[in-house]
Amino acid sequence: MTVGPGIGGGRSIPPAAELGASTDRSPSPPAHQPLPAPPWPPPEPTHKPLTTSKPPSTLTIPNPLATYTAPTATNLLTASELLTTNSLTASDPRMTSQPLTASKPLTAGTVLTALALGALIGLLVGGVAGLVAALLTVPVATVALHRQESPQTQRDRERIAADLPFAADLMTACLLAGRPVSSATETAAEAVGGPLGQRLTWVSTQLRLGADPEPTWATLSDDPGTRGLARAMSRAAQTGAPVADVLTRLADDARDAARASALAAARRVGVKAVAPLGLCFLPAFVLLGIVPVVAGLASTIALP
Q: pLDDT tens digits for 182-241?
A: 899 999 999 988 888 899 999 999 988 888 888 889 888 888 888 888 888 888 888 888
Write the DSSP string, 110-151. HHHHHHHHHHHHHHHH-HHHHHHHHHHHHHHHHHHHHHSPPH
Q: pLDDT tens digits for 248-274?
A: 998 898 899 888 988 888 888 888 888
Q: pLDDT tens digits for 57-68?
A: 444 544 544 444
3-state secondary structure 196-245: HHHHHHHHHHHHHCCCCHHHHHHHHHHCHHHHHHHHHHHHHHHHCCCHHH
Does the predicted TM-score (pTM) go above 0.85? no
Cβ neighbours of 208 (radius 10 Å):
20
Domain ranges of the chain: 109-148, 152-257
> How does residue 35 score in pLDDT terms, banded at 50, 70 and 90?
low
Radius of gyration of the chain (CA): 51
Its CATH class, for the domain covering 152-257, is mainly alpha
What's the one-letter identity of residue 31?
A
User: Residues 266-287: what's their mean pLDDT?
Assistant: 81
